[in-house]
Amino acid sequence: MVDDFVPEIWSANLLQHLATRLVFGSEVLTNRDYEGDIAQAGDTVHITQMGDITVGSYTAENDISVESIADSTQALVIDQAKYFAFDVDDVVRRQALPGWVAAVTQRAAYKFAQTLDSYLSNLMYVAAHNTANDLGDQTSDTSDNTAYGILVQLRQKLVEAGCPMDGLWCVVPTGMYAQLLQDSRFVNAQASADGGAALHNGFIGRAAGFSIYESTTVPQVTSGIYNVIAGSPVACTLAFQITELKAQEREKRFGQIVKGLQLYGAKVVQPGALATAAVTIQA
């Protein structure tokens, strides 16, 4: 078998590398409130959402009104299943540098993360697009610093929708980040937020009330137009797990096959806690 292959250790290692590369799927942008244990694709988590409360005026002369609290149920379905599989020839393995199999597995973790982030970003975009929090077409232009203004408008949409203000985030494409770096308002806020320290997991600083993240998986429904998304961690819930990671002997050749399976599902449970803008980036 593959040298030093311990399924439990490798599985944890793969999850660690996956987590360090997630942007939309990070625990800062989404919540894992209903994750629990995922056994197989098709598992369903039923989420109960309570209705709103009415506040009345009290007087000593009148009885208070007792209301029944309505609730609704949403289903979080684990309906996404992704895998990787690669073979390791015995001769190749013996000639390869130490850690070759682990390095390939880490690369698989990156591809898992990229696939999951694309799935989540599109899910969030569709939800935000169907609310009043869609800014519509916007232009990000270096000459008049409109990138920062888009952030301000997105925040205004979320505030007006009653979105919780704690933990607000916004994910921008690389071209928009490049323009923000030329705006003193963003640069000064960024320096204040992180002290100039190295940033991780796509986090590039704070501005306009948001933690700002950079990602290559910002949706493009129309080519060249980026659907920038902002929101709160309460908006979307995610459940995922690496359920299988194993090596086995190949039947007709000397060598092994290493394969892994990832199961996940997500649900936008609070669409009003998301906002979006269709941004065209002008040089």
Angle between helices 7-21 and 100-129 (to 10 degrees): 50
Which class does domain 7-37+78-282 fall in? alpha beta
User: What residue spans define the domains of the chain?
Assistant: 7-37+78-282
Lowest mean pLDDT among 66-80, 117-131, 215-229: 66-80
Percent of the chain scoring above 90 in pLDDT: 35
Task: Tell me the two tokens of residue 214.
Answer: 């950079």
- pLDDT value of position 74: 82
Maximum separation of any 2 CA atoms in the chain, in Å: 90
pLDDT tens digit string along 86-108?
877 765 555 555 676 777 777 88
pTM of the model: 0.78
pLDDT tier at 207, thresholds 50, 70, 90: confident
* Tens-digit pLDDT profile for residues 16-58: 677 667 899 988 899 988 877 666 777 887 777 666 777 878 7
Averaged pLDDT, 177-189: 79
Q: Please, which residues have CB within 8 angstroms of residue 238's CB and are 6 or more apart in sequence?
A: 25, 30, 31, 32, 35, 120, 264, 265, 266
The mean per-residue pLDDT over the stretch 59-78 comes to: 78
What is residue 192's predicted lDDT score, i.e. its pLDDT?
55
What is the C-alpha end-to-end distance of the chain, expressed in Å? 54
Q: Cβ neighbours of residue 121 under 8 Å, at least 6 residues apart?
A: 24, 171, 215, 217, 218, 219, 229
The secondary structure of residue 209, as a DSSP letter, is T
Give the Cα separation of 34 and 78 in Å (integer). 11
Which residue has 């209903």 as its token pair? 34
Please return the burial class of 143, using the count of CB atoms within 10 Å of its CB with bins 0-12, 13-18 and 19+. exposed
